[in-house]
Amino acid sequence: MTSAAGGVIRIVMRQHITNFFVQAQESPSITAPNSFKSHWSLAVALADSGTVPENISEQVNEVDKSLSILDGLSDSRNVSSIYAGAGGVYTRKGDLLVRRGLDGNRIVPPDAILAYQKSVQILLRGASIDRTQVEYYHQLLRDRGTPSTQISPLGFPLLYTNLATAYLRLGKNQEAYDAAIHARLLNPNLVEPYILMSQALAPQGLKEAAAQALVEGILVSGEEGLLAPLAVLYKYGVDPDACAITRTANGPFLNNRCAKVHAEICSGSAELIRLYRENLRPDLEALAKSKAVGQFDCKEAQLEKH
């Protein structure tokens, strides 16, 4: 595994521990036994060692010990972020078992399938915990007289991006899409849900929708790396006029003068405006609208129709 990939795992796993303390401090309903933390900390230390392929079995062992302590707790008293991390570890275990055949195709052995299935099982429990605690908090707000229109979506996006990833590994594209959509709702500015949405849509033959998801990802992130998979989708029928991506000395960029791209940008901007509105972020809503009108020449009426 590359050092960059190891860094991602270390950052994510530390984030889970941080989120536990945040959740424990902010919600009196969370009273998980502290003993799980020693096993989780050891799993983090193993990830920090930089030898994930060699010690993945040890990581899984410590993850299992943590979950054996937490699994007996009700959803209202549990820690969803640990399940997000644990599911990610099992997906990584499955990935490490996959090999390439002589023809270049992936060979997914039964043990990898079992690891992905275990990942889904863990992440679905985490999602149940997440929903229970979000509903508890939302009910508190309603009891205090907060109008439903003033209650924004809440939850732990990583649970749902990890769930989408595990579902994709199992070829369950619709389930992966649904999980990615929910992650996008929770944080529209994360780029990962848009990538996962596209990866779930393309195998179903929904290439235009897959391209639309990547365009939205570019709008929120400016990530040039999304242009490569987008170019593949455009090449195979989504861009009949072959004008979507312009290549210059400074690299490729989306050509807003191309009718297909312009329509996708305006549609994507409208969707972002809707998501920011649902998340009670008028600042980001106004910024997205200003950019759509001023930079991309989208019509205000078109942005509000979405």
Predicted local confidence at residue 59, as pLDDT: 84
Predicted local confidence at residue 46, as pLDDT: 54
| Rounded Cα gap, residues 127 and 160, in angstroms | 7
Domain boundaries, given as residue ranges, for the chain: 3-155, 188-306
- Strands of 35-188 (E only): list them: 99-100, 106-107
Radius of gyration of the chain (CA): 21
Rounded to the nearest angstrom, the gap between the alpha carbon of residue 200 and the centroid of all alpha carbons in its chain is: 12
Predicted local confidence at residue 31, as pLDDT: 47
Predicted local confidence at residue 63, as pLDDT: 87
Predicted local confidence at residue 13, as pLDDT: 41
Predicted local confidence at residue 220, as pLDDT: 96
150: which residues sit within 8 A by CB, 6+ positions away? 280
Other CB atoms within 10 Å distance of the CB of residue 287: 14
pTM: 0.84
Residue in 190, 163, 166, 191 with CA at minimum distance from that of residue 179: 163
Low-confidence ranges of the chain (pLDDT < 70): 1-54, 305-306
150, two tokens: 């003033």
Predicted local confidence at residue 22, as pLDDT: 44
For 174-230, how does the pLDDT look when each residue is reduced to its tens digit (9 = 90+)?
999 999 999 999 999 999 999 999 999 999 999 999 999 999 999 999 998 999 999
Predicted local confidence at residue 287, as pLDDT: 96
Length of the chain, in residues: 306
Predicted local confidence at residue 177, as pLDDT: 98
Other CB atoms within 10 Å distance of the CB of residue 282: 10
Is residue 185 a contact partner of residue 208, using CB atoms and an 8 Å limit? Answer: no
198, two tokens: 């596209």
